[in-house]
A = this chain, B = another copy of it.
Amino acid sequence: MCPTSFTMGTKGNIENILPLSGSGHFVPLVVVLVGLPARGKTVLAHKLERYLNWNGHQTRVFSVSSYRKKHESQLFKSRDIMCPIDSKTAEIRNAYIHEAINDTQRWLNVGGDIAILDGTHPTFEIRQLLHDFFVKQLSYKILFIECILDDAKLIEENIKETAQLSEDYRHLEFSTAVNEINEKIDMFSSVYKPICPRSESSYSYIKFNNAGENINVRRLDGPYQTKVLGFVSCFRPIRKTLYFSRHGESEYNLLGRIGGDTSLSARGKHYASLLANYFNSAKVDYLRVWTSEKKRTKQTAEGIQAPIENLIPLNELDAGICEGMSYEEMQDKFPQEFAWRDQDKLRYRYPWGESYLDIMSRLEPVLLELEREDSVLVISHQAVLRCIIGYFLNSDPEKLPYLNVPLHTVIKLTTKGYDFEVEYIKFNVDCVNTYRKQPEVCTKSVHENI
């Protein structure tokens, strides 16, 4: 994301926000990554950004290296600027760090909740500079997250991934990129001082050791820091594959009815048997299957040789008083509700039921578990899978209710850095189409029909 454009979402352009009052929000937080290159900082930064935004906190990553690159032309080689012991480059380093923190401040001032500074921040001095600026001068909060990794194999994997995926290296020959990263690691190793529990004991920090195996936390403070810890304690920076499928076609799908708890149709059962064949012959290591507690997802999972768990948070959106109706019946019986739903499907709640926003919220523990897990097949329902897949693909929440998640299809997500590659595996079993586009003509305001 471009760190110099500050178009905010719903909050507009608020000027002169006092740090401790006026905004209605909690005190802004600056998360500062700390650690040597190839310790997984960038992946953590972007995954954390996604999670916090999903939870409604305006969050943005500021990459220190993108500021550095603007100054590259002043130097012979790009990596010279990073040499921490070369006094000639100190001035330039100072300049781009100040650019980064000034942009961070400006963004927080116009309504951002949480800024994440992605960089090495290897010395006491740089951390103190950041603390003095954000905490003492601006009365914001700061949380350092130090990524510590001793496992040589994991470091090597991270180096390869950085060489292939990072904007800084992917234009280079692979072996050249790997060499450059290794040089950079050597250079930073000579100055890097881990956060010191004694001399830096007044800071709030999290030490994230060996890909999350253990974590040390000091002086956590404020609701945003609690939320960050929640994510960090679940996050495992592993390469992984997750599988998603809706239940096979159900009896209610055939009748065009909402919700309920019916069995699979004949075609739905056929899909379930093909799905079982697919996974049983693929022999995915340590595969586990999570379904909702509805019959149609349990029946879909039935033949798969793997441990199966049934989880309430994976149940379909609760349509409240409209459960079991067709959309035509709903339109007939509750025309106001039907119109409201078309106007804002993301926020619309069925009376005594749920909205998409509600299921986004109840899915949070499931998403955190999926951040920790590998090789899980989730068999659930249209609205729920729209939310889960939308989370991993960083979709705009407004578009979630119209994301296409067809029946009789496995959606496979495989990590690629902090993103996922998507593969749709369509099974050759006919089914009804449950996708319904947003009507083009619908009243603009949710209050217009009252």
- Residues of B close to A23: CB separation below 8 A: 310
Contacts of A187 in B (CB 8 A): none
Q: Does A311 contact B (CB under 8 A)?
A: yes
A224 closest partner in B (C-beta): B365
- Give residues 162-203 of A contacting B (CB, 8 Å): 197
Q: Nearest residue in B to A27 (C-beta to C-beta)?
A: B309
A198 to chain B, nearest CB (A): 12
Q: Does A335 contact B (CB under 8 A)?
A: no
CB pair A230 B226 closer than 8 Å: yes
Within 8 A of B (CB), among A90-107: none
Known contacts A21-B309, A217-B215, A447-B321; is A222 also within 8 Å of B351 by CB? Answer: no
What are 18 contact pairs spanning A and B, CB under 8 A? A20-B307, A21-B307, A22-B310, A24-B310, A24-B312, A25-B312, A213-B219, A214-B219, A216-B217, A217-B217, A226-B230, A226-B234, A227-B365, A229-B230, A229-B233, A321-B447, A321-B450, A340-B351
Are B26 and A352 in touch, CB under 8 angstroms?
A: no
Number of contact residues on A: which range applies?
A: 35 or more
Residues in B with CB closer than 8 Å to A310 are: 21-24
Residues of A352-372 at the interface with B, using a CB-CB cut-off of 8 Å, are: 352, 361, 365-366, 368-369, 372
Given A213-B218, A218-B214, A312-B25, answer yes or no on A223-B321 (Cβ-Cβ < 8 Å): no
New A-B pairs, 9, CB < 8 Å, besides A20-B309, A214-B217, A229-B230: A20-B307, A21-B308, A197-B214, A214-B218, A215-B216, A217-B233, A223-B365, A229-B229, A347-B352
Contact B223 A368 (CB under 8 A): yes
Q: Is there a chain B Cβ closer than 8 Å to A446's Cβ?
A: yes
A311 CA / B352 CA spacing, docked (Å): 28
- The minimal Cβ–Cβ distance linking A165 to chain B, given in whole angstroms, is 28
Interchain nearest-CB distance for A397 vs B (Å): 17
Q: In the bound complex, how far is the Cα of B366 from the Cα of A308, in angstroms?
A: 37
Chain A contacts with B in 200-216, Cβ cutoff 8 A: 213-216
List, in ascending order, chain B residues with CB within 8 A of A24's CB. 293, 310-312
A293–B223 Cα distance when bound, in Å, is: 18
Does A393 sit at the interface, judged by CB under 8 A? no
CA of A310 to CA of B19, assembled, Å = 11
Contact A222 B26 (CB under 8 A): no
Task: Decide if A349 is an interface residue (CB 8 Å cutoff).
Answer: yes
* A43 at interface by CB-CB < 8 Å: no
CA A226 – CA B232 in complex, angstroms? 10
**Within 8 Å of chain B (Cβ to Cβ): is A220?**
yes
CA distance A21 to B22 in the complex (A): 48
Q: Which residues of B contact A230 (CB under 8 A)?
A: 226, 229-230
Bound-complex Cα distance A361 to B55 (A): 13
